Amino acid sequence: MALTGKLRVFWIIALMTLLGAYFGETKKKTRKEPNVPFPPARPTPQNLNAICTHGGGRPRYPDSFFPASSFSHLRRCGKAINRLESWYSLCCSGQIAQQPNQKVCCAQQAWKQALSQFCEQEASIMTLAYECCEYEGEARWTCFNSELPNPNYSPTAGYVAPVMSPVQGFTFDSNAC
Domain count, the chain: 2
Do 51 and 81 contact (CB within 8 A), yes or no?
no
26 and 53 within one domain? no
Per-residue pLDDT, 8: 57
CA 85 – CA 167 distance, rounded (Å):
9
* 86 plus 160 within the same structural domain: yes
- Specify if 109 maps to a domain: yes
Residues 146 and 79 in one domain: yes
107 and 139, same domain (yes or no) = yes
Q: Tens digit of pLDDT for each residue in 94-127?
A: 777 677 789 999 999 999 999 999 999 999 988 8
Residue 36 in domain:
no
Supply the pLDDT for residue 71.
86
Look at residue 118 and give its three-state secondary structure: helix
Structural domain including 16 reads 1-30
Examine the domain organization and report whether 26 and 53 are in the same domain. Answer: no
Helices vs strands, H then E, count in the chain: 5, 0
* Residues of the chain below pLDDT 70: 1-31, 97
13 lies in the same domain as 92: no
Please report the pLDDT score of residue 17 as a whole number: 46
